[in-house]
């Protein structure tokens, strides 16, 4: 498997934070941890600091995705999933979390709050035309496939 280097500065209030890491040999996402405690009331959204500042190589992005266990057990969601950390962003990585549950959700320093997935990106080039190629689906969408 090809390895891509992501440069990182990690600091919050003068302390180094834990680097994101893969929790199993074939995991696609690296778990990222909270660098601050946070309470998220039911139905509310909060930005959780990670203390990470990254330099993603050009041609790549880091996608921020929810952790499935938190989503299933606590309805803790990432409302803009997948979030994108672009190659030219140099601010602190923050995780937007939404509590879809009925109880407040408490995050402590070091809790795993999301996953980061490194993805290749391509720059699109638009080509204007007068008509598009036909397909069996055509213009059907929004639940169109699989219905009779």
Give the model confidence (pLDDT) of 82-103 as tens digits: 999 999 999 999 999 999 999 9
The answer to whether position 7 is within a domain reads: no
Q: Please report, for the domain that includes residue 34, its CATH number.
A: 2.70.40.10
Q: How many domains does the chain have?
A: 1
CA-based nearest residue to 72, from 100, 46, 44: 100
Q: How far is CA 146 from CA 64, 130, 137, 138, 139, in A?
A: 30, 30, 11, 14, 14
Domain ranges, residue 96: 27-120
Domain annotation covers residue 65? yes
User: 14-56: per-residue pLDDT in tens?
Assistant: 778 899 999 999 999 999 999 999 999 999 999 999 999 999 9
Decide if 78 is inside a domain: yes
- Whether 99 is covered by a domain: the verdict is yes
């Amino acid at each position: 498997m090809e390895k891509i280097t992501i440069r990182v500065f990690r600091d919050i209030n003068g302390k180094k934070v834990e680097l994101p890491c893969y929790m199993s040999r074939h995991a696609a996402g690296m778990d990222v941890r909270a660098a601050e405690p946070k309470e998220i009331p039911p139905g509310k959204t909060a930005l959780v600091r990670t203390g990470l500042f990254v330099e993603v190589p050009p041609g790549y992005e880091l996608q921020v995705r929810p952790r499935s266990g938190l989503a299933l057990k606590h309805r803790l969601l990432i409302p803009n999933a997948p979030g994108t950390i672009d190659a030219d962003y140099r601010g602190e990585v923050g995780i937007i979390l939404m509590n879809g549950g009925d109880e407040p959700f408490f995050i402590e320093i070091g809790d795993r709050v999301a996953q980061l997935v490194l993805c290749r990106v391509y720059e699109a080039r638009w080509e204007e035309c007068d008509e598009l190629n036909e397909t069996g689906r055509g213009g059907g969408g929004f639940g169109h496939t699989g219905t009779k």
